[in-house]
Structure 1
Amino acid sequence: MVFYAPASHAEVRKLSLVKVDFAKRVGDIVDGPQVSRGLVVLAAFNLFAELRSYLLATNTAYGNEELAFAKTFGGALSELIAASLKLSLVLGMKNNSLAGGTRMYRIAARPLDLPPVFNPTVP
C-alpha cells in the first residue's frame, strides 16, 4: 500500500527531519575511528591473503607469478595504505589538540594540487 502526501504536509516534514537526523548519526559512525580501524584490519588481512597466494604461485609450476605479484603489491598494499591514511585522518581530526597534527595526519589531510591532464585552452 502506498500513500501520497504533499511536500508541505506536517508529517512529511517530520519524516524528512527524521531521515536527515538518522543520516547524520550513521555518517558520524561511519566516519568514526572504529570503522577506520576495522578497515585497516581488513586491509592487513587482505595483504596477508594476497601475500600467501603470491608465495603459493611462486612455489607451484603453474602459478601466475606476475598476476599474484601485481595483486599483492599493487592492490592489497595500496588498500592498506589508503585505510591507514583514512585512520590517521580520522584520529587527527579527533585529537586536534596537537598543533599542526602528526606527520601522517598532515600527509593524509593535504590537498592534491595536480595539474589538469587535458586542458583544451592550452595549445
Structure 2
Amino acid sequence: PGCPSYVPYTSEVISAVPAPRAAAPLFALPYIKHTDGARGVLLVSKTSVPTNVTLHGDGLAGASATVLDGSLDGVHVDAEPGFVAPVERIVGPDGFLALGPYAVALVSAGSELVELVEATG
C-alpha cells in the first residue's frame, strides 16, 4: 500500500526533428461561382503589418477587390478600424494589391483563370 516510488529518469533525445515551417503570411482560396462561372480569390492576411500581394493570371489586371482591413489605403490603419467599411481597390496592371493588417479581400476576376500569389510584407 502507499504510493509507488519513482526512479529518477533522464530523457535522451534519440533524433532531432526539423523545426516546423513558418506559416504562410497569406491564405488564398480561389473560387468559381456555379451560377454564372465568375471566378475570383478570397485572400486573408495573417500578419499584423501591411502586406503587398502580387496576383498572377488572366483577367486580374484591373480586377476589382473588396477589401476589409480597417484602413482606406491598405497602409494606415484607422483610429477605429472596426468601424471602417469595406473599400473597393483595383488590382494594378502588374497584379499588385496592397492589404492592411489582418485584411480580408475578395478579388473578382470575371470568368478568367486565377493563378496566384506572392505576398511580401
Instruction: Provide TM-score, normalisation by structure 2.
Output: 0.22
Instruction: Provide TM-score, normalisation by structure 1.
Output: 0.22
Q: Of the two structures, which has the highest relative contact order with CA contacts closer than 8 Å and spacing of 6 or more?
A: 2
